[in-house]
Amino acid sequence: MDNNEGWGVRLPYKVEQLADLLDQTRWANECTWDETLKLCEHMLAYEIPKGRCIFKEGDSDHYMGFILKGKVNVNKVDAKHQLACIATVRAPQSLGEMCLIDGQPRSASAEAATDVLMLILTRESYLKLSGSSPQIANKLLVKIAQMLSQRLRATSGQLVDFLGDVPG
Residue of 123, 125, 127, 102 whose CA lies nearest to 40: 125
Query: For position 35, what pLDDT does the model report?
Result: 97
- How far apart CA 54 and CA 47 sit, in angstroms, is 11
Query: For position 5, what pLDDT does the model report?
Result: 56
User: Tens place of pLDDT for every residue, the chain, 168 residues?
Assistant: 444 356 789 999 999 999 999 999 999 999 999 999 999 999 999 999 999 999 999 999 999 999 999 999 999 998 899 999 999 999 999 999 999 999 999 999 999 999 999 999 999 999 999 999 999 999 999 999 999 989 888 878 877 777 877 676
- How far apart CA 87 and CA 75 sit, in angstroms, is 7
CA torsion through residues 65, 87, 7, 14, sign: negative
- How far apart CA 140 and CA 53 sit, in angstroms, is 26
DSSP state of 58: T
**pTM here?**
0.89
In this structure, the number of other CB atoms found within 10 A of the CB of residue 130 comes to 16
Query: For position 161, what pLDDT does the model report?
Result: 79
Query: For position 2, what pLDDT does the model report?
Result: 45
Q: Output phi, psi for 82, to 5 deg.
A: -100, 150
